[in-house]
Amino acid sequence: MKKLCILLVCLGSINLFAQSNGSRTEFHEPKLNLAYLILGNFDVSYEHLISQESGVGVNLMIPFDDYIKWNINYNLTGYYRFYFGDGYADGFFGEAFTNLNNVRDSLPAENGEGTNRENVTDLALGLSGGYKLVSSGGVVLEAFIGGGRNLFNEFNSSRNFDFVLRAGLNVGYRF
């Protein structure tokens, strides 16, 4: 039992020694989409950096202004990013995302004549790509664009919103 305790203490101290290299790694990035904010949408993101090459995040978009008629009630997006840059989670990236969206859309009427305006919730899968710059002080600038397709509504072929756009010009901070 005494040998097992000594072994566990030695292994634990090796692990602590290996992690105390003096460098601090950032793991969190809250961001605001300036392009959508100018157009009347509140669009915020949070990304958790898993490693030097990848991160996962969540994005929420809610329109607050009628400057542009969006017909969107909300978008909630989860994403995974893979980075191709030399730095820690910066440079070019590819992204796979899933998007839960609720829109006011035109659907065929039940009697088959005309259309009805209804709130429709759907789930889209898609891909996007972009570029991220990170300053030495932690300021993040990123631009990205991509798209996906709604999957679950029976009227997708006749809807206005069967395709979702994912785009932005984000500013944030890494800590």
Strand (E) or helix (H) holding 12: helix 2-19
**pLDDT in 10s for each residue of the chain, 175 residues:** 454 444 444 445 444 444 444 455 669 999 999 999 998 899 999 999 999 999 999 999 999 887 677 788 899 999 999 999 889 999 999 999 999 999 877 666 666 666 667 788 889 999 999 999 999 999 999 999 999 998 887 665 566 667 899 999 999 999 9
How high is the pLDDT of residue 105?
75
Distance, CA of 47 to CA of 28 (rounded, Å) = 6
The overall longest dimension of the chain from CA atoms, in Å, is 83
Q: How many residues does the chain have?
A: 175
Give the pLDDT confidence score for residue 56 in this predicted structure: 98
pLDDT at 119: 82
Q: Where are the beta strands (DSSP E) in the chain?
A: 28-33, 41-49, 54-63, 72-83, 91-108, 115-134, 139-150, 163-173
| Residue of 49, 70, 75, 71 lying closest to 60 (CA atoms) | 75
Q: Please state the pTM of the whole predicted model.
A: 0.78
The Cα angle at residue 145 between residues 43 and 95, in degrees rounded to 5: 90
Domain 27-173, architecture per CATH = Beta Barrel (2.40)
| pLDDT of 43 | 96
Task: Please give the Cα distance from 15 to 54 (Å, whole number).
Answer: 23
pLDDT at residue 159 in the model: 62
Q: Are strands 115-134 and 54-63 parallel, antiparallel or unpaired?
A: unpaired
